[in-house]
């Protein structure tokens, strides 16, 4: 191979490899010596994306530690074997972005302690015997994005809120009464709110809590540059106070209410939010009266049609299954017939929304579920 051919190969192949999966890259590395050298000496290992795989965590990180260019690691729907895992192997790695859709809390705690270079962490932590210590994330000096779903006990929530550091995007989902250690009513959030100083870095905040603390709007007031708020599964919350606080934030634009109760005060509070340009609403599963729920929300947003740019009305899988089961009992038809009825119902619903909000982009979206971090 002459110099020209070699030059073309070393400068063209990396552009092709960039679009391949990890499996395909490994196969390409076995084609010939030249391809192996090119793969070893390019940025092909900068991002590792694994899905639906069974992984021995220790051997995976041991292999990746030899690839010092790995900065982004994404493990989606993978079965993780953490036996014999030695966290010391992480010290040589420079991972900046980490996404794991299923991880035990013991592994998540180890990763957070041994990867000080982390800038973004998105993880779904499943039940184990270990408590997830949230205070470890406060020690990550470069962390700007933290999005967690945890249905297991968590500890030191107040310490995290008091020491957000450089975090700009914070989502804490799945925090049911059973998951918050010794704090089923949000007392730690109330105490942290009283101690907090103003924070001018946080831009987006998501919280899943059945009962919001009565002074939650004061917590929002401390986030002076907040642009986006996501609330999930809130059954008891002071709608009027929270929405009024949102209306006073000049940078605020996005509001997401996922399976949240629309309570007294919602209509008056939301009508003040002329700064909200993007609104996502998902029907609260226990309230299957779509007509009544729609009426409550539509009365609230009808005065915002000139400022609201996009409305996304979502339906969870649980609601869709309920709809189909009720239709089956009433119509006693086939599954195909029931789904056709479902489709016609939502097409008409979308048409009605577009008629009422002619200056707003309207989207009907199926399968919008609480706790989903990996859309």
267 has pLDDT over 90: no
Question: Does residue 3 lie within any of the structural domains?
Answer: yes
Q: pLDDT-derived band of residue 331, with 50, 70 and 90 as boundaries? A: low
Judge if 252 and 365 occupy the same domain: yes
Counting the structural domains of the chain, the total is 3
Judge if 350 and 260 occupy the same domain: yes
Q: How far is C-alpha 277 from the chain's CA centre?
A: 20
Q: pLDDT-derived band of residue 184, with 50, 70 and 90 as boundaries? A: very low
Contacts of 48 by beta carbon, 8 Å cutoff, 6+ apart: 22, 64, 70, 72, 73, 74
Asked whether the beta carbons of 270 and 302 are under 8 A apart, the reply is no
88 has pLDDT over 50: yes
The H-or-E segment that residue 364 falls in is: strand 361-366
Judge if 79 and 31 occupy the same domain: no
- Summarised one tens digit per residue, pLDDT across range 188-238 is 677 777 778 889 999 999 998 888 888 889 999 999 999 999 999 888 889
67 has pLDDT over 80: no
Q: pLDDT-derived band of residue 291, with 50, 70 and 90 as boundaries? A: low
- Summarised one tens digit per residue, pLDDT across range 204-214 is 999 988 888 88
What CATH number did the domain enclosing 199 receive? 3.80.10.10
Judge if 265 and 210 occupy the same domain: no
Judge if 65 and 189 occupy the same domain: yes
167 has pLDDT over 70: yes
Structural domain ending residue among the three candidates 226, 257, 282: 226
Question: Does residue 155 lie within any of the structural domains?
Answer: yes
Q: pLDDT-derived band of residue 143, with 50, 70 and 90 as boundaries? A: very high
Judge if 210 and 93 occupy the same domain: yes
Question: Does residue 275 lie within any of the structural domains?
Answer: yes
Judge if 202 and 65 occupy the same domain: yes
Contacts of 195 by beta carbon, 8 Å cutoff, 6+ apart: 162
For position 316, what pLDDT does the model report? 85
Judge if 108 and 21 occupy the same domain: no
Question: Does residue 232 lie within any of the structural domains?
Answer: no
CB count, 10 Å around CB of 73? 21
Structural domain ending residue among the three candidates 226, 259, 276: 226
- Range of the structural domain that residue 266 is part of: 248-370
Q: What's the rounded mean pLDDT across residues 143-154?
A: 85
Asked whether the beta carbons of 107 and 75 are under 8 A apart, the reply is no
Q: How far apart are CA 343 and CA 366, in angstroms?
A: 11
Question: Does residue 231 lie within any of the structural domains?
Answer: no
Judge if 174 and 196 occupy the same domain: yes
Judge if 85 and 172 occupy the same domain: yes
Judge if 272 and 178 occupy the same domain: no
Judge if 272 and 213 occupy the same domain: no
Q: What is the dihedral of CA 233, 235, 241, 246, to 10 degrees?
A: 10
Q: pLDDT-derived band of residue 185, with 50, 70 and 90 as boundaries? A: very low
Question: Does residue 238 lie within any of the structural domains?
Answer: no
Which position has the higher pLDDT, 291 or 355? 355
Lowest mean pLDDT among 46-50, 159-163, 238-242, 360-364: 46-50
Asked whether the beta carbons of 89 and 70 are under 8 A apart, the reply is no
288 has pLDDT over 60: no
Sheet of 47-51: strand order equals: 47-51, 72-76, 97-104, 120-126, 145-150, 169-173, 204-208, 228-232, 254-258, 278-282, 310-315, 361-366
Lowest mean pLDDT among 112-121, 150-159, 166-175, 274-283: 150-159
Question: Does residue 259 lie within any of the structural domains?
Answer: yes
For position 176, what pLDDT does the model report? 60
- pTM, two decimals, is 0.83
Q: What is the mean pLDDT of the chain?
A: 81
Question: Does residue 239 lie within any of the structural domains?
Answer: no
């Amino acid at each position: 191979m002459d110099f020209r051919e070699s030059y073309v190969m070393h400068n063209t192949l990396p552009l092709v490899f960039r679009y391949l999966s990890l499996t395909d890259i490994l196969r390409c590395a076995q084609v010939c010596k030249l391809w192996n050298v090119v793969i070893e000496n390019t940025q092909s290992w900068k991002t590792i994306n694994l899905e639906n795989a069974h992984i021995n965590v220790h051997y995976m990180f041991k292999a990746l530690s030899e690839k010092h260019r790995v900065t982004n690691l994404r493990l989606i729907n993978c079965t993780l074997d953490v036996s014999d895992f030695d966290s010391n192997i992480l010290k040589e790695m420079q991972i900046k972005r980490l996404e794991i859709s299923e991880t035990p809390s013991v592994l998540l705690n180890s990763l957070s302690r041994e990867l000080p270079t982390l800038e973004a962490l998105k993880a779904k932590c499943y039940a184990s015997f270990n408590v997830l210590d949230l205070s470890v994330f406060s020690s990550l000096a470069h962390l700007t994005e933290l999005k967690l779903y945890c249905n297991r006990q968590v500890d030191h929530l107040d310490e995290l809120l008091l020491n957000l550091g450089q975090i700009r995007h914070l989502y804490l989902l799945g925090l049911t009464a059973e998951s918050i250690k010794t704090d089923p009513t949000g007392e730690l959030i109330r105490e942290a709110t009283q101690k907090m100083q103003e924070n001018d870095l946080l831009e987006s905040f998501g919280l899943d809590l059945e009962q919001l603390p009565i002074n939650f709007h004061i917590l929002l007031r401390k986030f002076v540059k907040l642009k986006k708020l996501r609330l999930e599964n809130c059954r008891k919350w002071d709608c009027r106070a929270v929405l009024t606080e949102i209306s006073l934030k000049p940078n605020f634009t996005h509001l997401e209410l996922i399976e949240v109760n629309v309570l007294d005060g919602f209509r008056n509070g939301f009508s003040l939010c002329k700064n909200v340009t993007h609104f996502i609403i998902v029907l609260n599963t226990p309230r299957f009266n779509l007509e009544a729920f729609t009426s409550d929300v539509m009365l609230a947003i009808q005065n915002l049609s000139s400022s609201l740019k996009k409305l996304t009305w979502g339906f969870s899988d649980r609601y869709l299954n309920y709809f189909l089961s009720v239709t089956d009992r009433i119509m006693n038809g086939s599954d195909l017939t029931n789904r056709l009825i479902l489709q016609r119902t939502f097409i008409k619903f979308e048409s009605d929304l577009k008629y009422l909000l002619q200056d707003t982009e309207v989207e009907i979206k199926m399968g919008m579920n609480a706790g989903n971090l990996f859309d």
